[in-house]
Amino acid sequence: MITTTGLSKVYRSRGRAVTALDGVDLHVREGEVYGVIGQSGAGKSSLIRCINLLERPTAGTVTVDGQDLTALAGRGPRAGRELRQARSRIGMVFQHFNLLSTRTVQDNVELPLEILGSSGKERSRKALALLDLVGLADKAKSYPAQLSGGQKQRVGIARALAGDPKVLLSDEATSALDPETTRSILQLLRDLNRQLGLTVLLITHEMDVVKSVCDSAALMAGGRVVESGTVSELLATPGSELAAALFPVGGEATGDDRTVVDVTFHGEAATQPVVSQLSRTYNIDISILGAAIDTVGGLQIGRMRIELPGRYEDNVVPIGFLREQGLQIDVVDRAAPQPALPKEGAK
């Protein structure tokens, strides 16, 4: 549904060139909720603004629903009209709501329909239906100043849906909200994704957003996508930075003769007592250094950091047992013997 290829964006100011996007390749499948996460300055907002061409990419292509939007930019009046039509099928939800304070809630939702030239009766009918969809049917005649932050964001979402988009872009839509309101907005986005078949692309710096609603995710740093895939794929990828960030566990080896292992549970394995089975089968004492567990996409997923007695070579068979149970195993500290120092005078 959304594909970027070699997408680059360079900002120039006072003779300086700042690269915000550096050859970004991204693929968002139809009907999924996709999260792009990264720290401030990673290029997330530049990416989403290039996807709907609020910013013109310096290089590369953006294809939405099979149409190359970058091919339409700056190609004359006809291409300009086609670009506006294509962009009308892309809804945008902003971090700070961007509601007009002098217009009622209903009038704010009707604004895109006015721009599209819909009749007054059609605008009113559709705006009221959308407000009902987001749970604000009783706030149609209210003004933004009379709403809570969560209610304002629901108005923003209703407004973004006015043009019957196939794609909904969300730029840090929950970062200004409290945790409880954030959960309700994320649930609303997930419900809309399922009810309307929307493809949703979320820009966020919050791991909980990815954990709560995303089917797939990408990690950005320095204007590049450094890791991407479905959440389940990432959790099954050895050394995945995203997996470690989604389910952080801590703890260090308590001695040189110990081996520390990160165990990722997902699917049916999450409900099996594999650690106790390992302890009984091999008659070894296992220390749990840290653990994190949650539900992602309706499935229980978790990570646990355990410490096994002995060095890595002493634990090859127990580690193999864990892998045979369908678990993802990452050896954190092999506690391998250090190479001997060269003798004095040796070449």
d(CA 250, CA 292): 10
CATH of the domain at 254: 3.30.70.260
* pLDDT tens, residue by residue, 113-170: 998 888 989 999 999 999 999 999 999 999 999 999 999 999 999 999 998 999 999 9
Same domain, 321 and 185: no
Closest alpha carbon to 220 in 21, 83, 60, 67? 21
Owning domain of residue 325: 247-333
**Do 288 and 177 share a structural domain?**
no
Confidence of residue 297 (pLDDT cuts 50, 70, 90): low
Q: Give the residue among 335, 336, 332, 316 at the shortest CA–CA distance from 250.
A: 332
Residues 48 and 188 in one domain: yes
CA distance 185 to 155: 11
Query: Is there a contact between 290 and 262 (Cβ–Cβ < 8 Å)?
Result: no
Instruction: Look at residue 270 in the predicted model and tell me its pLDDT.
Output: 66
Contacts of 192 (CB under 8 A, 6+ apart): 133, 157, 161, 168, 198, 200
User: How confident is the model over 33-76, as pLDDT tens digits?
Assistant: 999 998 888 999 999 999 988 889 999 999 998 888 888 766 65
Of 235, 267, 289, the last residue of a domain is 235
Picking from 197, 212, 235, the residue at the C-terminal end of a domain is 235
* C-alpha dihedral, 269 to 270 to 271 to 273, nearest 10°: 70
> What does the alpha-carbon distance between residue 204 and residue 245 come to, in Å, rounded to a whole number?
14
Is residue 251 included in any domain, yes or no?
Answer: yes
What pLDDT is stored for residue 195 in this prediction? 92
Say whether pLDDT at 263 is over 50.
yes
Query: Are 65 and 184 part of one and the same domain?
Result: yes
Q: Report d(CA 48, CA 46) in Å as an integer.
A: 6
Tokens of 38: 């990264």
